Structure 1
Amino acid sequence: MMSTRRLPWTFGLILGLGYFGVTAVSPVYNTYTPLLLRDLGLSAGLVGFVMAWDNVLNMFLPAWAGARSDHTWTRWGRRKPWVLAAAPVAALFFAAIPQMRTLAGLLAVILAANLALSLLRAPGLALLGDLFAPAERAKASGLINLLGGLGVLAALVGSGLLAARDAALPYRLGGLLLVASALVFALLVHERRSWGSSAGVGVGGVWRRLLGMARGQDRAAALVLLAAFFSFSGFNILETWVSSFGRYALGVAPERLPFILAVFAGALLTSALPAGFLGARLGHRPAMAAGMLALALLFAAGLWVQSEAMLMGLLVPAGAAWALIIINLFPLLYQVGGEGSAGLFTGLYYTVTSAAAAAGPQVAGLLLDWSGQDFGWVWALAAGLMAAGALTLARVRE
């Protein structure tokens, strides 16, 4: 394991630039793909089903690919072959999405693009655990997430400008950024056996490791994953329903809603690096717990939000608190999971957060229907889940 102090600002920048392209495709996909599906005659329910495919795949494939990359070594490295193989395939099928004129063709390329993206995510991001000493991972994670967030903003702005000219151009932009990410990894990342370990659990051991967690072994890792599930469920509830709260409970004009959400995104981006340094100084678990407790209180305060200004005032500290959680989660997972299992635990991160993204908003939607659209239940559920995450994390011993 290399641990020179220059790593977070050199390799961290490289990984962040590679992550830039992977994060940039999501806003393009989520913004324009539902429109393409509706244009070909799918109902809203079926559109939602197709748009959930990526979450379903991410529950299973990243953990498999991550564990596989833990346990192998090639002349190109441990993680890099996955990125170099999957990124061009993902780029090709992603760029082909708006070119499909039949429903069967569109569904086929959507599935192929999501399959390829699911296979590259965990091995690529596991380099964070390979390249950096434990004390440096939170700082590097802050830099990576900062550049990833800039990728999202660039995709949103760039796709908005390009879509006015040609509906296919945003997808081509996403494909080009994926290829650029692969080139960054190919040219600038040179793995060594000493970066990480090939003594991971192996592919056949993934289920044994998971069963061990369920039976009380790997207790710390299981608790961190459970805390992540609770906190991401709470976050995804607000991410999904805050625009509806603004529109229907506060009467905010639709054209104002993106600016409200941008306040949260801006606070998250500006807090990414400070959250990493704070985690390195205080410890990853205390930093995450502080973020969860702060969000529990802020979401509870949402019960008394009466105006657009109050909502924006709440989302600023919420963005900073969320940064404490997502920046320090990977370093804590690698710490409790073991140095030889970075790929596996990166994949399990995707498993847990994808399950949370599917479950949390659905439960909140059912509560809204049951309560006659009382958004107080949404704020209360999100706050309760964040508090549950903090209490679960308090039981972890690093």
Structure 2
Amino acid sequence: MSTVSPGKHRGTWRITLLAALAVFAQESTWNFYESQVPPMLREHISSAAVVGMLMGMDNLLGIFIQPWMGNRSDHTRTAWGRRMPYLVVGMPVAAGLFVLLPYAAASLPLLILVMFSYAVVANAFKPIAEALVPDFIAPERRSRANATVKIATSFTTIAAAVISLLLVDDHPKIAFAIPAVIMLISVAVLAATVRDSHSPAYQAAVAESESRSEDTTKRRRVRDTLKEIVRDSDRSRLLLLAAILLFGSAWSASRSLITPFGMETLGLSRGDAGGLTLPSGIAFVAAAYPAALLAERYGRLRVIAGGMTVFAAALVLGTFLRTATGVTVALCIGAAGAACFLVNAAVVLWNLAPSAQVFGTYAGMYSISWASGGFVGPTLVGAMVDGTGWALMLIDIALIAAVAIALVVRIDIGRRLVARTRTHDGRTSRADEEAVTE
């Protein structure tokens, strides 16, 4: 029986916490952006669909920027590693642009320009920070590591809600400065402590590159990865990316539009409506690590499907609880269910990657699907709200989540059937063995 030395275990937890800090740094501004930029836009625009479309602009940009940057970082070789150079440059620039948002709010064209600039820079390093997890952490422990990362992300959701409650109504410029300062402090810690050139994945990628000709290495592009996924007879990766897009649509709509929902349906002030997500952030933190442990025991795909079902059911419940307290409870239940997806979906995709050479590209592929959902979700749900009213917004979101559930169930059934067939025929492989645990 193999054992893990205490030193190695401590090293795993150290890098897990630092990878979580990298994601925490980027999300410290994103969550506040999603909560408080929509009310700025509504001062100039009355249509919920247009507001949703503009809020989805960052995700549309991410569709093109994130996989390209993830792939570019895969092929970067420096003494500092292949991820850290981009993080150290990109995060301070994004923080500076974020601080400018409330100053640009008086002019719609200027506000959109600053939003666009922030989205370009922040999208450029988003998949790079997330790729630190598979770079350093072994496959069997990635759900736990990713749970820690998602817990860190949830703390930024809680922070955004607290800042909304305490500062937005009276001191909006100070409120926007706080997440930017959090990002700057986080990237300073990362710059002082992380050298991803020491990661197992970086070393494996270097070794693989040296074993291949230079011309062959250069031909490994994002479009080649896309073609491989689309043409593969095993549809697991393609269906998973579609499910990520759909659930990303539902999750993003539930976050981006919750402040105007609270204002229009529950009669709350902008600050109080922005605080609706505070308890659900705590619920997510409580559910994230158990979601990883459940996935290791019962299979990641089954836990993902179960969690999404809880999310959709909670939103339906929230539609009929027409009070701030009732909606808050529903959001808490939904966040706990969503944790099962957010902790494990990326891990399933990383584990399906053919080699360590493409972890950044696969992180970008996850991001491209999630970002596509982030663009489609607010726009689609906003259009549905224009037709049916704000009161039914949560049901609109639940309908989108239901389609994602069907896809994940299809993946789980398909992979288990293939694995059992190959086992029966004596043609098992590592991928088949992993299918049972996924």
Superposition deviation, residue 218 in structure 1:
6.3
Distance 1:300 1:88 in 2: 40
**1:298–1:346 CA distance, 2 compared to 1 (3 A):** same
**Match of residue 184 from structure 2:** 179
- Contact persistence 1:19–1:181 (CA under 8 A): no
Residue type of the alignment partner of 1:227 = A
What is the aligned counterpart of 2:34 among 30, 33, 36? 30
Matched, 1:138 2:143: yes
Structure 1 counterpart of 2:424? none
Partner of 1:342: 359
Are positions 1:393 and 2:411 aligned together? yes
- 1:212 match: 228
How well do the aligned residues superpose, as a CA RMSD in angstroms? Answer: 3.4
Query: Partner of 1:75 in structure 2?
Result: 79
Show the 5 A alignment for 1:194-209. Answer: 194-196=199-201, 197-198=204-205, 199=208, 205-209=221-225
Amino acid at match of 2:140: A
Determine if contact 1:298/1:318 at 8 Å carries over to the other structure: yes
Q: In 2, are the aligned partners of 1:302 and 1:379 still within 8 Å (CA)?
A: no
1:324 aligns with 2:340: yes
Q: Deviations over 1:210-259 (max 9, x none)?
A: 122222356332222122123223334544566777777xx644257556
**How far apart are 1:109 and its partner, in Å?**
3.4
1:88 aligns with 2:92: yes
Call closer, same or farther: CA 1:161–1:8 in 2, change over 3 Å.
Answer: farther
**Partners of 1:48 and 1:371 in 2: CA distance:** 16
Alignment of 1:1-398 (within 5 A): 4-34=8-38, 48-100=52-104, 105-158=110-163, 160-163=165-168, 166-192=171-197, 194-196=199-201, 197-198=204-205, 199=208, 205-216=221-232, 219-239=235-255, 252-254=266-268, 257=273, 260-299=276-315, 305=320, 307-308=322-323, 311-338=327-354, 339-370=356-387, 375=392, 378=396, 381-382=399-400, 384-394=402-412, 395-396=414-415, 398=435
Give how far 1:30 is off.
3.3
Residues 57 and 72 from structure 1, CA distance in 2 versus in 1: closer, same or farther, beyond 3 angstroms? Answer: same
Displacement of 1:335 after TM fit?
Answer: 0.1
Secondary structure at the aligned position of 2:373 is classed as helix
Report the CA distance between 1:299 and its aligned residue: 5.0
> 103-112 or 62-71: which moved more?
103-112
Partner Cα separation in structure 1 for residue 50 and residue 313 of structure 2: 36
Q: Give aligned pairs, total.
A: 393
The whole-number CA distance in structure 2 between the counterparts of 1:126 and 1:288 is 21
TM-score (norm 1): 0.84
Measure the CA separation in 1 of the matches of 2:298 and 2:152. 24
2:429 is matched with which residue? none
Q: Any idea what SS the aligned residue of 1:72 has? A: coil
* Rounded Cα–Cα distance in structure 2 between residues aligned with 1:36 and 1:372: 21
Q: CA deviation at 1:177?
A: 1.9
What is the percent sequence identity of the aligned residues? 25
Q: TM-score, normalised on structure 2?
A: 0.77
* DSSP 3-state at the match of 2:200: coil
The residue matched to 1:89 in structure 2 has which SS? helix
> Distance between the aligned counterparts of 2:219 and 2:233, measured in 1?
19
Matching residue's letter, 1:355: S
Whether the aligned pair in 2 keeps the contact of 1:226 and 1:392 (CA below 8 Å) is no
Q: Are the structure 2 counterparts of residues 34 and 69 from structure 1 closer, same or farther at C-alpha, using a change threshold of 3 Å?
A: same
2:312 and 2:334 in contact (8 A); partners too: no
The gaps in structure 2 that reach 5 residues or longer are 210-216, 417-434
Give the AA of the match of 2:21: L
Cα deviation, residue 312, structure 1 = 4.9
Determine if contact 2:57/2:375 at 8 Å carries over to the other structure.
no
What letter matches 2:73 in structure 1? S
Matching residue's letter, 1:279 = A
The 2-side partners of 1:262 and 1:215 are apart by 43
